[in-house]
Amino acid sequence: MGRFSKMHGLGNDFVVIDARTGPVAMTEARARAIADRHAGIGCDQLIMIGDAPDADVSMQIFNADGSEVEACGNATRCVPLFVGRDVTIRTKAGLLDAHLIDGGASVDMGAPRFEWDAIPLAYAMDTLTMPASWEDLPAPAAVNVGNPHIIFFVEDLDAVPVERLGPLIEQDPLFPQRVNVNFAQVVGDEHVRLIVWERGAGLTRACGTGACATAVAAIRRRIASGPVTVTLPGGDLVIDWKPGGSIQMTGPATHVFDGEADWSRF
């Protein structure tokens, strides 16, 4: 039997496994089975916490479809709560610093990337106002914050058919590694509403890296100034970024319960 914790950040929920206490062989099929909300434990992402030679812990992230991804902002906030102290975390996206605060955590998410081949896109183009769009959506921006994001700033967020356009854009050939799709509405100089279709997970209540990418894009376009409060269906995150610097993300993290499972049955 292996132990796990169920955690969430603004309703974006995780099964967190401590692989430091014993190795757990994780495959795409096993991760998908664990994430299944009907036949498994159920989660948006499966998080594996391990040892790292250059950090306090490592974090490996699997989406609900079993695909491994580089970054997850909401899960990163859960790591210091899971470990019980401030930590440095080695991820595929780089080394992150996470600090406990009352009710959650604050995380240095590193510096965003804007080069077309860092997003990555299939070919060169401007990433601040991309010469591409879908149906009636405005020209988007693209930002890599450890994983790829595209951001559409719309006039009426509630009028966007997210569940239809999200998967269409996620799978577009323009994005060789697929993409997280962000639909945002600026409602004040320091306030943005956001809905995210997450690569490999679909529509989620919150996406931390999506909030980071959206705030950065809004600041770059000078339609918002930081720190930006990003309101997602699950609640608020505060994102602070200045051009040339790293992104600071602050928000809640919640431990729900602990459990045991026989991983060989998945």
Give me the DSSP letters along 32-89. HHHH-TTTS---SEEEEEE--TTSSEEEEEEETTS-EES--HHHHHHHHHHHTS-EEE
Q: How far is CA 171 from CA 56, 151, 199, 256, in A?
A: 35, 15, 9, 33
Which 8-state DSSP code applies to residue 102? T
* Active-site option among 43, 78, 207, 212: 207
Measured CA to CA in angstroms, residue 38 lies from 33, 41, 42, 47 at distances of: 10, 8, 7, 19
SS3 24: coil
| Residue from 43, 72, 78, 212 carrying the catalytic annotation | 72
Given a contact cutoff of 8 angstroms between Cβ atoms, the answer to whether 180 and 141 are in contact is no
User: What residues pair up with 242 in beta bridges, in sequence order?
Assistant: none
- Residues 192/198/199/200 CA torsion (nearest 10 deg): 170
Q: Is 207 a catalytic residue?
A: yes
Q: Which residues are catalytic?
A: 72, 207
